[in-house]
Amino acid sequence: MLLHTLLRFQDFTSEINYAALQHKFASYDAKYNGILEPRFDHSIEGDFSINYKYNEDGYAELSFFDDFLYPKIDNLSKSTINIIQQKIKTTFQYDKIKIELFINDTLKECYEKESIIKKNEFLNEETRSRLSSQMAIVLEFLNDDYLKQFEFKDKFQFKLMEQDLLVLLALLRDKKKLVHHNESQLGHLIERHFECFDESTQSYKTIQKAGKKLNNFKNSYKTIQNSITRLKILLQNDSFYEM
């Protein structure tokens, strides 16, 4: 049934997949009744509606976006996490080595899908935004609930303030000297492997929500000017290059 259709992030990684999803919705118009699928040459731009028969005597006009796509997307993280948990329970039977390999492979797939979806121009801004929010929940679940079990105890300790370290890494990535596809992937690696210096406690600490902070730099350049100034002083000092 239409209302029981489960979406996957894969449905949004190509225009062919997205068009197939639109075809699925359109096939439930009363004139097709879910049996004959209409054929679209490409995905439909914008919203469209169908005349949906929900019982013997009742019909309703359903919007693709408001009545189908957006509610389904908003449940995507929950259904994806349920599938992951079920596979861990039934396939790997809590074997830590196999689980770690599976989680790392799943993370890689999620990061790739996230990068592709963000660039897909056939999706409107609202759809991309909702998908991004759902993917963030899945990534946080994978990193926090599972990968932290395998976390390295020894981390790289940088005697830099948190923002200075993040700005440095963001600049290296922006100038193609550090290769990572998106902020969330780089952010999770920073959280697991790097520590910054806390001046107030004179100790090293882990970095929280690194991906979100990296992404915020794009929209708040003025807030990182002090970090840029401190980095320039550090990197332009001749003594920095003495071994």
Using one digit for the tens of pLDDT, what is the confidence trace for 44-56? 899 999 998 877 7
Regarding whether 87 and 128 lie in a shared domain, the answer is yes
More confident residue, 180 or 68: 68
pTM for the predicted model, two decimal places: 0.73
Q: DSSP letters of 208-243?
A: SSHHHHHHHHTT-GGGGHHHHHHHHHHHH-GGGG--
Regarding whether 132 and 84 lie in a shared domain, the answer is yes
What total of structural domains would you count in the chain?
3
Regarding whether 200 and 187 lie in a shared domain, the answer is yes
Task: Kindly indicate the confidence band of residue 38, based on its pLDDT and cuts at 50, 70 and 90.
Answer: low
Regarding whether 34 and 50 lie in a shared domain, the answer is yes
Of 102, 120, 150, the domain-final residue: 150
Average pLDDT over residues 10-30: 91
- What is the C-alpha to C-alpha distance for residues 15 and 149, in angstroms, rounded to an integer? 37
The string of pLDDT tens digits covering residues 67-88 is 999 999 999 999 999 999 898 8
What single-letter amino acid sits at 120?
N
Task: Kindly indicate the confidence band of residue 2, based on its pLDDT and cuts at 50, 70 and 90.
Answer: low
Of 134, 150, 166, the domain-final residue: 150
- What is the C-alpha to C-alpha distance for residues 144 and 133, in angstroms, rounded to an integer? 16
Asked if residue 227 lies in contact with residue 161, where contact means CB atoms within 8 angstroms, the answer is yes
Of 73, 100, 135, the domain-final residue: 73
Average pLDDT over residues 154-166: 92
- The residues, ordered by sequence, that sit 6+ positions from 180 with a Cβ below 8 Å of its Cβ are 173, 186, 189
Structural domain that includes position 23: 2-73
